[in-house]
Amino acid sequence: MKRNEILKDRISVREYAADNQKFVIEEFTDSISVFNGIKMADIEGKGEIMAAMAEELGCYLRTKGIEARFVERISSNEILCLKTEIIPLEIVTRNIVAGSMAGRLGIEEGLRPGNTIYDLFYCSPELENPLINDHHAVALGFAGYDELDEMYSVARKVNGILSVLFDRAGIALVDFRLCFGKLPDGRIVAASEITPDTARFWDKETGERLDKDRFRMDMGKIGDSYRSLYQRMKSVLQ
């Protein structure tokens, strides 16, 4: 499939139009950024690990009945995806308190709540992707209540499937962010990949972080940790 014009130019992922209108091509770059692009670096081989992880998890979730925009990996660092109408909402599913939730509520990272937490964010970089709720989303016309139910249901299923998978590799799926898109027939599908850039993964025994927090927190060994996460995931997928 040929790559045409750039549709989205983000630091770690670029989206291109494909020559077939039904698809888009996602290219994972070697770059990493946090704090709205204020802190950036290049990690050799990162794009390839991200594409490999997107492929493995995309295929695995498909076998479990999760509908997503992922179609297939088409090169070392590119994947083919179905073109969807993007819904400007993200659900962050949290099994363990970390990151913005810990900061916002003054809770120490690592607390395991008795229930899974689902945070709804409005994707608006200008507004720094604010936390909103279902009623805001409906009032602003981003989705109906039934569509929100569908999105929470997908997030819950993905969480169940991937928590079990990573647990087998001795890794806790702490949280992850999921975006959604609408297919031409109106079906809502998962429209982002689960990678260490969009999810938190902690080693269950040592608590070692295997995700983007290593970069946020200047912990180093980012490439090694991403590779280790991928290898451990792959070993339990076989």
Q: Which residues pair with 62 in a beta bridge?
A: none
Distance in Å, CB of 201 to ligand 5GP, minimum: 9
Task: Give the footprint of ligand 5GP on residues 184-213 (CB under 6 A).
Answer: 197-200, 212
Neighbours of 172 (CB within 10 A): 20
For residues 1 and 31, which CB has a smaller minimum distance to ligand 5GP in the complex?
Answer: 31
Q: Which of positions 12-41 make contact with ligand 5GP (CB under 6 A)?
A: none
Residue 83 vs 214, nearer CB to ligand 5GP: 214
Is the CB of 78 or the CB of 211 nearer to ligand 5GP?
211
Rounded CA separation 153/94 (Å): 14
DSSP state of 173: E
Mark the segment that binds ligand 5GP (CB under 6 A) among 96-104, 158-166, 183-191, 202-210. 96-104
Residue 175 makes contact with ligand 5GP by CB under 6 A: yes
DSSP output for 56-106:
HHHHHHHHTT--BSEEEEEETTEEEEE--EEEEEEEEEESS--HHHHHHHT
- Choose the stretch contacting ligand 5GP; rule: CB under 6 A; options: 15-23, 41-49, 95-103, 150-158: 95-103
Residue type, 141: G
Helix (H, G, I), strand (E, B) or coil at 179: strand
Q: Footprint of ligand 5GP on this chain (CB under 6 A)?
A: 92, 98-101, 129, 175-177, 197-200, 212
